[in-house]
């Protein structure tokens, strides 16, 4: 099984396990972790994309289907787990798998992200 396939499976499992009532807690915990995070050049992609996904979730004027919201929340749960496929205790390498999972979500929800950005400009 390829690395991308494993990450895809983990993301799918996390998204399937998330419930609508979990959303506020997941968003709050993610925002707290990001406040405690020391940004580095190598983590810019991850932090930028997490910020976009969080804004989409927080913006109640932007409608997304539950499946899209669940996918984002699944990625956030993965980001919050200290012992995911590659433990976050390993500097930079530990965040590489988080970056991959968030990248999968960004790719899958590209149309939603573009729709969100277009709505912000109008």
pLDDT in tens, 31-86: 998 888 777 777 888 899 999 999 999 999 999 999 999 999 999 998 888 765 55
What's the whole-number mean pLDDT along residues 18-24? 94
Domain definitions of the chain by residue range: 3-121
The whole-angstrom separation of Cα 25 and Cα 6 is 26
What is the model's pLDDT at position 120?
81
The pLDDT value recorded for residue 43 is 81
Helix, strand, coil tally for the chain in percent (to 5): 75, 0, 25
Question: What pLDDT does residue 87 have?
Answer: 55
Kindly state the percentage of the chain with pLDDT values over 70: 86
């Amino acid at each position: 099984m390829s690395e991308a396939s494993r990450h895809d499976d983990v993301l799918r499992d996390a998204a399937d396990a998330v419930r609508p009532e979990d959303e506020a807690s997941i968003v709050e915990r993610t925002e707290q972790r990001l406040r405690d995070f020391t940004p580095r050049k190598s983590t810019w992609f991850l932090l930028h994309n997490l910020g976009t996904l969080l804004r989409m979730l927080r913006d109640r004027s932007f409608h997304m289907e539950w499946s899209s919201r669940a996918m984002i929340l699944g990625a956030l749960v993965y980001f919050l787990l200290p012992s995911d496929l590659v433990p976050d205790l390993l500097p930079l390498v530990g965040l590489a798998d988080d970056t991959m999972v968030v990248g999968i979500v960004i790719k899958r929800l590209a149309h939603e992200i573009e729709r969100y950005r277009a709505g912000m400009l109008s």
